[in-house]
Amino acid sequence: MAISYYTQEGLDRLHEELHNLKLKGRADIARQIAEARDKGDLSENAEYDAAKEAQGLLELKISKLTEVINNARLIDESTIDISKVSILSKVKIKNHKMNKEVTYTLVSEEEANLSQGKISVQSLIGKGLLGKQVGDIAEIQVPAGMQKLEVLEISR
């Protein structure tokens, strides 16, 4: 699995999710299996089969999340070079087509949340902005057409 970069906030969220899956998720599944087992013949017990399948899916999710955390690297925000756009840069851009200014923070794909102004470095706009400097114009092909985005400001 590839290494992914996270903010402290994003990494803390992953650890919390894993903790909840291990404690609450496993306890819920164990309860469901016990309840289904109490209903009698396991060979024809659909609830038991469903609970065992849910247990397998939960364990798979725990395994995958553990792998993500093991391959996660924390980004030291204090070392970010703000002379050019990079991961964790806060970028103020002007969309020339719409004559509108917006500010985005470039984050890992797992931390992206447009409603919070966080876009993935893997997104079309994120990829198009990477490496740009203040004053540069990024021409980015998006589903709605060609966008001209001028980099107005880069910060942390």
Is pLDDT of 15 > 70? Answer: yes
Same domain for 147 and 82: yes
Distance CA 36, CA 49 (A): 9
Higher pLDDT, 150 or 40: 150
Report yes or no: 135 and 151 within 8 Å, Cβ to Cβ: yes
Query: pTM for this structure?
Result: 0.65
Section 56-79 average pLDDT: 88
Query: Residue 69's domain spans which residues?
Result: 4-74
Count of structural domains within the chain: 2
Q: What is the pLDDT of residues 96-141, one digit of tens each?
A: 888 999 999 998 888 889 999 999 988 999 999 999 999 999 999 9
Q: How confident is the model at residue 4 (pLDDT cuts 50, 70, 90)?
A: confident
pLDDT digits (tens, 9 = 90+) for 16-62: 999 999 999 999 999 998 888 887 776 777 888 888 999 999 999 99
Among 105, 72, 71, residue whose Cα is nearest residue 88: 105
- CATH code at 114? 3.10.50.30
Q: Which of 74, 99, 120 is the last residue of a domain?
A: 74
pLDDT at 79: 73
What pLDDT does 49 receive?
Answer: 87
- Looking at residues 135-148, what average pLDDT do you find? 91
Question: Residue 1's pLDDT is what?
Answer: 62
Listed residues 57, 74, 91: the one ending a domain: 74
**Is residue 44 domain-shared with residue 9, that is, in the same domain?**
yes
Rounded Cα distance, 109 and 124, in Å: 12
